Structures are given as structure tokens and as C-alpha cells.
Amino acid sequence: MHGRGFSGLSFFFTSCLVIFLTPVFAGPPPPKTEAPVCGAVAQGYLDARLEIWQHRMNLSDWKISLVMSPASRLKPKTLGNIRWDTAGKTAVIRVLDASGYKMSCHDMLADMETTVVHELVHLELSALPRSPASRHEEELAVNRIADALLKLDRENGQAGTE
């Protein structure tokens, strides 16, 4: 009984450390982190990464909030979206929440970050003319730009720093 209580207490303190320190260091939890803990740290991790990416992309003058959303609140076959108000320089990025993922914690957080960067690229391009005809080409360009930015970030070992 004593050992079981200590184990639970140890898990509790470890979980608290992960939850409270992840936003500070902005590094993803280890790949074998349990799903409930991973879901709990996702918001803080992504908020920290959003701040880094806003700075890198010179979007610091925008007030951007991040909302974790169940699949039912997103368009089918999407992982997120962004809505912005150019005049007020505000935006809301919605990202599929942890319940919509069936992968490791590490991979899930990396995918969520990809969605955040993808949506920030859309924001960066928001001043360009848009039409239904150009939508497909814009999406392809946004994917390529976001992938290139993330590849550079990960190759340079910059995840979680700045």
C-alpha cells in the first residue's frame, strides 16, 4: 500500500512538472509520454511555439490566440484553421485537439505545431488577392513554405529555444 501511494504521488509530481515546465522550455515531452499528460501540455507547448513563430515571421504586432478544437468544430479532413481581422490585427488559430490524434505524443505535438505554422503562413499571405480559383495554388504554396520553415527549425535543433 505504501509503495502504491508513493508511485501515484511520484506520477502526480512528474505530471505537474511536465505540465508547468513544458511551456517554459517549449520542448516536446519525451516520445513515450502518456496520452492524458500529452493532451494536458499541448496548449502550453503550442502557445510557447506560437510566440516563437510569431517573432520569427515578424507577426509580433498581431494578437493571435490558439484554441484547441475537437474535429467536430473543424471542417472535415482538416487539422486547423485561422480567422483574422486585418484592421484590428487579431487572429484565432484553431488546432485539432489531442482527442483527434492516434499517434505518439511527440508526433502529435509536432503535427500540431505544423498546423500552427501553416496557419501563420496563411496570415502572412492574407494581404494578397484571393479567389476560389487561386485557393488550391495558395494551399500548395502555404504547405511548401510551412514545411521548409519547420524543416529548417528541426534541422538546426531550434525546437524550444529562443
Q: What is the pLDDT of residues 100-120, one digit of tens each?
A: 998 899 999 999 999 999 999
pLDDT at 38: 81
State residue 3's pLDDT score: 40
Burial (Cβ within 10 Å: 0-12, 13-18, ≥19) of residue 57: middle
Q: How many domains does the chain have?
A: 1
Rounded to 10 deg, the angle between the 2-25 and 35-56 helix axes is: 10
Residue 88 lies in a domain: yes
Q: Of 58, 68, 53, nearest to 161 (Cα)?
A: 53
Which residue segment(s) compose the domain that 16 sits in?
2-155
Residue 37 in domain: yes
Is residue 161 one of the residues assigned to a domain?
no
Residue type, 86: T
Give the C-alpha separation, 126 to 110, whole Å. Answer: 24
CB 29 within 8 A of CB 37: yes
| 73 located within any domain | yes
What sections of 27-128 are H helices per DSSP?
A: 35-56, 105-124
Give the pLDDT confidence score for residue 37 in this predicted structure.
74
- 145 assigned to some structural domain: yes
Answer yes or no: are the C-beta atoms of 27 and 159 closer than 8 Å.
yes
Residue closest to 125 by CA, chosen among 144, 112, 110: 144
pLDDT averaged per 10 residues in sequence order, the chain, 162 residues: 39 41 48 66 95 97 96 94 97 95 92 97 93 92 97 78 50
The span from the CA of 43 to the CA of 125, in Å, is 25
Within-domain flag for 113: yes
Residue 34: per-residue pLDDT: 59
